[in-house]
Amino acid sequence: MDLAASATFVAEPQESGAMKKPPARIKEKFFNNAILKTMILSALSLFAAVTIAYLFTWYTTQNIPYARTVAFATWMFGHIFLAFNLRSDYEPLIKEGLLSNKIMLIWAFLAVVVLALGISSPFIQSSLQITNLNLQSWVLAILVASVSTFWMEIKKILGQ
């Protein structure tokens, strides 16, 4: 999934004002402090989302395979939302346009389809020890994943 998501960034349109920015310093590392900070905060956000979804589901159902499935769906949705959020460091998704990268939209759609088919497949269910989800759990996974990544968009809107 990461490889496919990475490939979608190739089709990303250039940010406005990209040619007005000064070139990077020759000795500046690719993984500079700003990139590392974003990566760590993104990973922690996704970790928090998956943990919250798992624990909430487990406490309310006492069903480990069901909680595992909600956590898995939350991770997948969180991964998709992070890909959209990380398209730009400065421009919010609203300004960039959700539809401006068709390849990423196709990837996201296919990821959701594969997730839904995988969760409903008896072979995958037995292999991963997961189960079918009800509508409430799908909504929970989507909401928790979106809330955990939405801070990035707020940061861009506020210009920080």
Residue ranges per structural domain of the chain: 31-157
Tell me what the pLDDT averaged over the chain comes to: 84
Q: 3-state DSSP helix/strand/coil percent for the chain, to nearest 5?
A: 75, 0, 25
pLDDT digits (tens, 9 = 90+) for 14-25: 666 656 676 767
State both tokens at 114. 């594969």
Stronger pLDDT, 110 or 154, i.e. the higher one: 110
pLDDT digits (tens, 9 = 90+) for 76-123: 999 999 888 877 776 777 777 777 778 888 889 999 999 999 999 999
pTM of the entire structure?
Answer: 0.81
**Nearest CA to 78 among 156, 146, 154?**
146
Predicted pLDDT of residue 87: 76
- Residue 137: partners with Cβ closer than 8 Å, 6 or more residues away: 57, 66, 69, 70, 73
